[in-house]
């Protein structure tokens, strides 16, 4: 039986091939086989969620971690503004929140470049699906 590390590595290589070859790609069956083998070993596959407790936090740079902390603070302030019926303030905070989300996702993507599937380290039996550009989603629907 293949190790989880080798399966994730192979799946990443297959995904790179799919992105590079597009219509000429011929290994769709192998992608399904490897994906199923990962699931059969008891691993779940999840999208990044970006919170302090999620594995993707560990994959952020120091700046990305600070931005995530700011994002959490902005979300709290936004909820408080809505609660106080201060909708203009909430809208301003929402705009700041969106900018930080983009920045955090870019940080995560640059730190995990060419890694479409990532073992979650401290989080056993979890593999992150990293597809920020939406190039692979059709393969796994």
pLDDT value at 53 more than 90: no
For residue 104, give Cα distances in angstroms to 57, 66, 84, 91, 119: 10, 9, 28, 20, 19
CA distances from residue 67 to 4, 87, 115 in whole angstroms, order as listed: 32, 23, 22
Predicted confidence band of residue 111 (pLDDT cuts 50, 70, 90): confident
> What DSSP designation does 86 have?
-
Out of 7-16, 49-58, 61-70, 78-87, least confident range: 49-58
* Helix, coil or strand: residue 117: strand
Considering the entire predicted model, what is its pTM? 0.66
Instruction: Answer whether 51's CB lies under 8 Å from 57's CB.
Output: yes
Most confident stretch, 36-50, 79-93, 117-131 = 79-93
Higher local confidence (pLDDT), 56 or 66: 66
Phi, psi of 55 (to 5 degrees): -65, -25
Residue 68: φ, ψ to 5°: -65, -40
Q: Give DSSP secondary structure letters for 104-127.
A: HHHHHHHHTTT-SEEE-TTSTTEE
Report d(CA 35, CA 76) in Å as an integer. Answer: 37
Q: How does residue 124 score in pLDDT terms, banded at 50, 70 and 90? A: low
Asked if 68 contacts 103 with a C-beta cutoff of 8 angstroms, the reply is: no
């Amino acid at each position: 039986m293949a190790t989880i590390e080798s399966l994730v590595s192979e799946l990443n290589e297959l995904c790179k091939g799919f992105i590079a070859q597009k219509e000429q790609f011929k290994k769709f069956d192998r992608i399904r086989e490897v994906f199923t083998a990962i699931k059969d070993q008891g691993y779940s596959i999840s999208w990044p969620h970006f919170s302090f407790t999620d594995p993707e936090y560990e994959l952020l740079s120091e700046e990305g971690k600070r931005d995530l902390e700011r994002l959490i603070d902005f979300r709290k302030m936004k909820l408080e503004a809505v609660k106080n019926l201060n909708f203009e303030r909430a809208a301003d905070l929402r705009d700041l929140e969106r900018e930080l989300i983009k920045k955090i996702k870019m940080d995560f993507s640059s730190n995990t470049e060419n890694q479409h599937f990532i073992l979650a380290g401290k989080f056993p039996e979890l593999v992150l699906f990293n597809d920020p550009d939406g190039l692979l989603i059709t393969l796994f629907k």
